[in-house]
Amino acid sequence: MTKLSVQPYKGTRDFYPEDKRLQKWMFSKWQNVCEGFGYEEYDAPILEMLELYTAKTSEEIVSEQTYSFTDRGGRQVVMRPEMTPSVSRMVAARRKSLSYPLRLYSIPNCFRYERPQRGRLREFWQLNADIFGIEGVEADIEVIELSDSIMKAFGAQPNQYQIRINSRKLLKEIEAIVQLPQDNAAGFYRLIDTKEKIDVDEFWQKMTGIVPGDDYRELLNGYFSARSIADLPHELVLTQSAKNVAFVIEQLNQRGVSAIFGPEIVRGFDYYTDIVFEVFDMNPENNRAMFGGGRYDGLVGEFGVEPIATVGFGMGDATLFNFLESNELLPQLPSGTDVYIVVLNQQQRAAADVARVLRSKKLNVSVDLSNKKMDKQLKTANKKGARFAVFVGDKEVDSEIYEVKDLQSGVQVKCGLDAIYDTVR
96 versus 234: smaller Cβ distance to a copy of itself: 96
Whether residue 108 contacts residue 83, with contact meaning beta carbons closer than 8 Å, is answered with yes
Rounded to whole angstroms, the Cα distance separating 148 from 374 reads: 51
Question: Which residue in the set 291, 340, 388, 391 belongs to the binding site for a copy of itself (CB under 8 A)?
Answer: 340
67 versus 321: smaller Cβ distance to a copy of itself: 67
Report if residue 308 touches a copy of itself, rule: CB under 8 A.
Answer: no
Whether residue 210 contacts residue 188, with contact meaning beta carbons closer than 8 Å, is answered with yes
Question: Which residue in the set 57, 82, 84, 111 belongs to the binding site for a copy of itself (CB under 8 A)?
Answer: 111
Crossing angle of helices 240-254 and 168-177, rounded to 10°: 150
Q: Which of residues 156-215 bind a copy of itself (CB under 8 A)?
A: none
For 364-413, the three-class secondary structure string (H helix, E strand, C coil) is CEEECCCCCCHHHHHHHHHHCCCCEEEEECHHHHHHCEEEEEECCCCCEE
Residue 233, preceding peptide bond in cis (omega within 30° of 0)? no
Report if residue 60 touches a copy of itself, rule: CB under 8 A.
Answer: no
State the minimum distance, in angstroms, from the CB of residue 195 to a copy of itself: 29
Number of chain positions touching a copy of itself (CB under 8 A): 102
CA 351 and chain centroid, separation: 42
State the minimum distance, in angstroms, from the CB of residue 85 to a copy of itself: 9
Whether residue 338 contacts residue 156, with contact meaning beta carbons closer than 8 Å, is answered with no
Q: Which amino acid is at 309?
A: A
90 versus 185: smaller Cβ distance to a copy of itself: 90
Report if residue 303 touches a copy of itself, rule: CB under 8 A.
Answer: yes
Report if residue 82 touches a copy of itself, rule: CB under 8 A.
Answer: no
* Stretch of residues binding a copy of itself (CB under 8 A), selected from 88-96, 172-180, 236-244, 278-286: 88-96
Rounded to whole angstroms, the Cα distance separating 148 from 186 reads: 30
Report if residue 15 touches a copy of itself, rule: CB under 8 A.
Answer: yes
Question: Which residue in the set 21, 29, 190, 395 belongs to the binding site for a copy of itself (CB under 8 A)?
Answer: 21
Whether residue 81 contacts residue 66, with contact meaning beta carbons closer than 8 Å, is answered with yes
Instruction: Report CA Rg, the chain.
Output: 28
- With H, G, I as helix, E, B as strand and everything else as coil, classify residue 140: helix
Report if residue 67 touches a copy of itself, rule: CB under 8 A.
Answer: yes
284 versus 304: smaller Cβ distance to a copy of itself: 304
Nearest CA to 277 out of 294, 260, 261 is that of 294
Question: Which residue in the set 28, 38, 202, 325 belongs to the binding site for a copy of itself (CB under 8 A)?
Answer: 38
State the minimum distance, in angstroms, from the CB of residue 359 to a copy of itself: 5
Rounded to whole angstroms, the Cα distance separating 225 from 152 reads: 29
Rounded to whole angstroms, the Cα distance separating 134 from 100 reads: 8
Q: Which of residues 251-280 bind a copy of itself (CB under 8 A)?
A: 251, 254-255
Contacts of 384 (CB under 8 A, 6+ apart): 335, 337, 340, 366
Question: Which residue in the set 196, 231, 353, 406 belongs to the binding site for a copy of itself (CB under 8 A)?
Answer: 353
The secondary structure of residue 231, as a DSSP letter, is G
Report if residue 297 touches a copy of itself, rule: CB under 8 A.
Answer: no
Report if residue 62 touches a copy of itself, rule: CB under 8 A.
Answer: no
Question: Which residue in the set 60, 75, 345, 411 belongs to the binding site for a copy of itself (CB under 8 A)?
Answer: 75
* Stretch of residues binding a copy of itself (CB under 8 A), selected from 46-54, 189-197, 201-209, 259-267: 46-54
Report if residue 117 touches a copy of itself, rule: CB under 8 A.
Answer: no
Please, what sign has the CA dihedral across residues 231, 236, 238, 243? negative
Whether residue 54 contacts residue 62, with contact meaning beta carbons closer than 8 Å, is answered with yes
Question: Which residue in the set 160, 286, 335, 423 belongs to the binding site for a copy of itself (CB under 8 A)?
Answer: 335
* Stretch of residues binding a copy of itself (CB under 8 A), selected from 84-92, 207-215, 321-329, 394-402: 84-92
Question: Which residue in the set 59, 60, 71, 215 belongs to the binding site for a copy of itself (CB under 8 A)?
Answer: 71
* Stretch of residues binding a copy of itself (CB under 8 A), selected from 166-174, 206-214, 320-328, 365-373: 365-373
Report if residue 109 touches a copy of itself, rule: CB under 8 A.
Answer: yes
Report if residue 384 touches a copy of itself, rule: CB under 8 A.
Answer: yes
